[in-house]
Structure 1
Amino acid sequence: ASDFINKPIKDEVLSIALERAKEKLDIRRQLKEYTDDLENMVKIATEEFERKSNFQSKLIRSSNDGIVATDDEWNIVTFNPGAESIFGYSGYEIRGSDARKLYPPEISDALEKIAACAEARKAELPWREISITSKSGEAIPVRCSGAILREKNQMMGSVTFFQDLREIKRLERELLKSERLAAIGQTVAGMAHCIKNILHGFKGGSYLVDIGLDRNDTNRLKTGWQMIQRNIGRTSDLVLDLLSYSKERPPEYEPCLPNDVADDVCELLKENANEHDIEIIRAFSPDVGEVSMDPRTVYRCLLNLVSNAIDACMFDEDALDKEHCVCVRTIREEQKFIRFEVEDNGAGMSDEVRAKIFTSFFSTKGGQGTGLGLLVTMKLVDEHGGTIGVTSSLGKGTTFTIRFPYD
Structure 2
Amino acid sequence: YQYLFDNMTDGFVICKIICDEQGVPCNYRIIEANKAYEAQTGIAISDIVGKTVLEALPDIEESWIKIYGEIALTHVSRSFELYNHSTRRYYQTNAFSLYNGQFARVFKDITDQKLSEVALKRSEESQRFGEHAREREKEVAHLDRLNTMGEMATGLAHELNQPLAAIATYADVALRMLDAEVTQPEKLREIITGARQQALRASEIIQHLRRLVKKQTVGRVKTDINHLIESVVTLLAADLQLRGVDLHLKLSENLPSLMLDDVQIEQVIINLLRNALEVEVDVGAKMREVTIRSYLASNSLVRVEVTDNGSGMEPEVSSQIFNAFYSTKGGQGMGMGLSISRSIIEAHDGHLWANSEWGQGSTLSFSLPVLNV
Bucket of the pairwise TM-score, normalised by the shorter protein: 0.3 to 0.5
Instruction: Select the structure that is richer in helix.
Output: 1
| TM-score, scaled relative to structure 2 | 0.44
